[in-house]
Structure 1
Amino acid sequence: MSNSAKVLVIDDEKLARANLRAFFEDMRYQVVEAANGREGLEVVSSENPDIVLTDLRMPVMDGLAFIAALREKWPDTPVIAISGAGTLKVAIEAVRIGAWDYVTKPVRESGELEVRVKRALEGARLLAENRRYYERLEEQVQEQTLEIRQSEERYRRLLSSVTSYVYTVTINNGQPVNTVHFAGCEALTGFTPEEFSVNSGLWWQIVYEEDRPVVNAISERILNSPGPLAIEHRLCHKNGLLRWIGNTLVPHRDNEGVLVSYDGIITDITERKEAEEKVRSLNADLEQRVADRTTELEQANRQLESFAFSISHDLRAPLRHICGFSRILAEDYRQQLEEKGKDYLKRIINGCDKMDKLIEAMLEFSRYSRQPINRMTVETNHLVREVFTEFETELSERQIELDIGNMLPCEADPTLLHQVYFNLLGNALKYTRKREVARVEIGSYQSDRETVYYVKDNGAGFDNEYAQRLFGVFQRLHRADEFEGTGVGLAIVQNIVQRHGGRVWAEAEPDIGATFYFVLPVVNNVGNV
């Protein structure tokens, strides 16, 4: 990667921009600056940088809003988020909405920043190269398709202008005794009618050796056939080249039905055969390219899931150190701390606990995303009742009306489907907690080739305008002090349902309740959707 790349640095702190400018200029990069996200978008439009480093907390337009806007208009421009102390959750959100990577302030290890920037630039180069490759491939496909059409047109013009090659075979006592080749044979075989007349075995000699058994078989069948027979085979032209011909045999019989002769009508189909072979070859090549690209995408998805898993896993060790030492301070040095210090320490511990829950949620999401699907027939009525037993304690302490309606069976992974119902029922019980009498209804119905399943409650509900936001990772429509949670449960539901080939959606009204639907495609008895 050449160091002529242009870097855009966005930070509302002038000193931070100056430090990053000095760092990148020492590496011989071009550097442009902006003080907030809005200025950053203007600079991207005018300067077209190769990579962007943006702070996350800025006035006017923060880093998350900038990244979202950048992804919409310049999706291939790599961006690295710079997070300050206490903004790790924001950094993770930045990666989720489109940042390629992130670093934390202060950037003490210049080598680490250099590696991340070079890795992002290399990724952008490969992405652009891949796009150009597929554009060239599409052009080649169009060119080859045009060539095939032109070849077929030439073939049609040839057929309309060239006289058919006709020959007649005389039969006596079921045996061929004479063959006459007429005009047109020289254009197709290279041999004149006279040459065929002098050499009675010439026709058999120019039939391609591998095709002789098929030609011999049809010659025997014509003796007993009431109508024409057709065959396609190859001939060796006088110039040594192989030609494909269509050979149609038309029998002639006397009044007693005895075969006395048959006419052969031959057409040169070489161009058509070559065009068909080109189409087959092109289709095979395209299928292989699609298969290769699919493999690449599957590998990229696995790497992305592994990346998310690694980030979550690697964050736990330093977080546990922070939490552990904070608890030691709170327990062993409590008497030496002022009230303000105790309050700060309490906030640190609470923040660590919250972050630990978020990390656990990310790990759980990653686990369900990678778990293989083992389809089998699932009795959903039995599965739902099993899930309810896991909420026995809460059910016994509250007044809850449960209505389990008609539950149609389905073809799904029972473990993953169990998690779908566990998350949906858990949500229903949580958001009906403030109701004196909570009502939860579970059922299903058939719609075309889909089975629709639903979980309905009379809980807090929400504005239906924001329904799709519910299924994003860490997306919540209620405050944490109202209802606890991490915002991952419904994302897991959507991931599992979509991996089964279905879809999920929600309908609700504020303070009335919510209904969550999901559909699974009908699977036939051989396992095909």
Structure 2
Amino acid sequence: MIPIKLGISSKISILVCSIAVLSVVLTSGWAFYSFRQLLIEENLENIEHDAHVASDRLRSRIEDMSNDVKFLHDIPPISGLIRASTNSDGIDIEDTSSEVQWKNRLAVIFKELINAKPYYRRIRFIGVADKGREIVRVDRVVPENRIVRIPDDQLQTKEHRDFYQAIIKTADKQVYLSEMNLNWDHGKIIVPHVPVIRAAMRVEDEQGKIFGFVLINMDLSYVFKELKESLHSQTKFLMTNTNGDFLVHPDPLKTFGFDLGRPSLILEEYPTLKGQFNDVGLEHWSGMIEQDSAKSPTMAASMHKIYFDPTKPDRFICLLLTIPKDKIVASLEAVQRQILYVMIGLFLIAMVIGLFFSRSLTRPLLQIIESIDSYGKGDTHSIHVHKAPSDETGILLHAFQHMVFQVEKRANELRFSEARNRAVLDAAADAILSINENGIIQSVNEATETLFGYTSDEMIGQQIEKLMPSPHREMHQSYLERHRNPEMNHPAPSEGVIGRIREISGLRKNGSVFPMELSVSRVWINQSQLFTGIIRDVSERKEAEARLIAKNIELEQKNKEAEQFIYSVSHDLKAPILSCTGLMALLWEDMDRNDLDAVRDSLKRIDRNVLRLENCVGDLLEFCRVGSIPHEPVLVDVNKILKQVVTELELSINQADATLDIEQDMPSVIADPNRMTELFINLLNNAITYGCKDAANRTIHVGGKVENGQVQYFVKDHGNGIGEAYHEKIFSLFQRLNNDRQGSGVGLAIVSRIMELHNGKVWVESQPGQGATFWVAFPMQPQSDVVV
């Protein structure tokens, strides 16, 4: 090796100094320019992201309101209220509820919905009758945030409002979305001003005529406040309608100025945006706005158009976020000074190193470079140098050797620790995964692979949103942004996700969505955040909860049926008891007068009432016995059953002078033969009792058929018939349309109960004066849950 002479060291020193000077000049200029451009681009990206998030949030609010209007359009209280109001006595013919009851139920739904949506200001059901008078109206009263139902005497007519006529002209099943404007009440704009947008849908009656419409008012001030709070304090937030009128502006005089007689347009304030604003196909644009006026400096801007009305594709809301360029680059001045000081310091250090240490550092540094190169190639044995210099470079070389050995030792320990942690994670029953502060998946355990259906290679390195359905996918980036931004790193307790167990939904590889519990923890590693989530599938628990809710609903229905049953029984048992009580009083009076004829008459009447009470109790016991003794369903020959029934009812048939016309070869059915006998006895008894007396044609027809996967039987008479309003009531306990006829009103209730136990159905086809045909229908195959 040729010794390095002083001349070479001097040359190296001069070269180092020259390179240092050139590097400082070039690096400083490049750093200043690059940092300035990066700062502007970063701010453009930030406001573009903010504008995109705000646009999605506003669009989501409007779509949510449209879906709520569709939901309210189809709820039972709307149809029930229409039926009740169109009926002369104000009673719903299907439900027997009054118009007032339907209004109360509808008001309860309105209150629950407006309570769940804090940005809803008013929900109404408006009719077209009486000049468009409000039928039910629920308001949110601010600032108390009370939800109240407006009394009937304070309801208003809306026929004179523009939105009324517009809603009436919309197509059926179409959601109407109004313009965004200030809310009116009693013919004038409300003060303080309340910006609103309305969503409505027409409601038609059973004849297809317009009855009214459901209308929701969204309080835009709440939504605008939401959007503003999510933005940086230096960001200027503006919003316009399709015409360019300001809906939001820092200057309150320009906000909704078109409603207050002082219109102000976006193109008047930003004329350079004319091309972007008027371009129908352009949905979003970001860039720098160069203003001609000195009062309007150059600024970074992001404009998003929100096309929110499917019925009017050209209609949009324009959202514009801006930051003045001078505020962006203001923070650059201090950075420029710091970079300049650093460059000067580096230059001086380079000169000192080049002048005084170039010779002494050359040989030891070469040794160190060789050692580093060997270590990079995996040769740890050649790192040891036997003849190291005794100065600082020798100490550096020995320190480097010791560092390499420590690194190897730590690497082995880390590999062992990682293997141990991996074994623990893979043994865990819950899914465990970790992500960085940008939402990139760093690690998963085997339970995570099983739960989501992906392999670890398919998940690691991907965005965590891959495992999230909407709306959690859209919201997750905003959560991460809060934790990345120190100013937003302390969310409210109700909004935070760290250290809490939350119920959200997960998205599997096959596209299925499932409920899960998520617990998130956070650690800091080298100024970076690592989030670890523990996930538990709660699908089985949710299904169990759903079954429990269904059982509760079923029990509530059974309780209501029991209450109705007790009421009916007490009513029908009370009548003969009261009659006997009255006759007993008369009997004592007759005995005091020694009027034996009157006594005999009273005793006969008491005997008839006791017999009536005995028959009622007997029928009641018969009804209660239906289904109390279970039997296995078998294939029943209905022809044989009918022969037995005719024999049993022969006396009643002859007394009524009735004739039975029974079809031959009736289809068989899988059922309980005992219950089938009871079924036809009660159907034929009903036809003999109510269909033959005073009838010119006393023929009773019995037949059956197989149709639509069902075995159907009918019993038809030629009596007085039954009005449509009573087609369902006659199957209730103790229901009789004619008290002049014998019978307790239990027979058809028994028929209904037997069909319920067979998972079948019963109905009647009849009109007054045209007789009645009673139908029963059994499923072709026995159901697994049949209890007979």
Q: TM-score, normalised on structure 2?
A: 0.33
Q: TM-score, normalised on structure 1?
A: 0.46
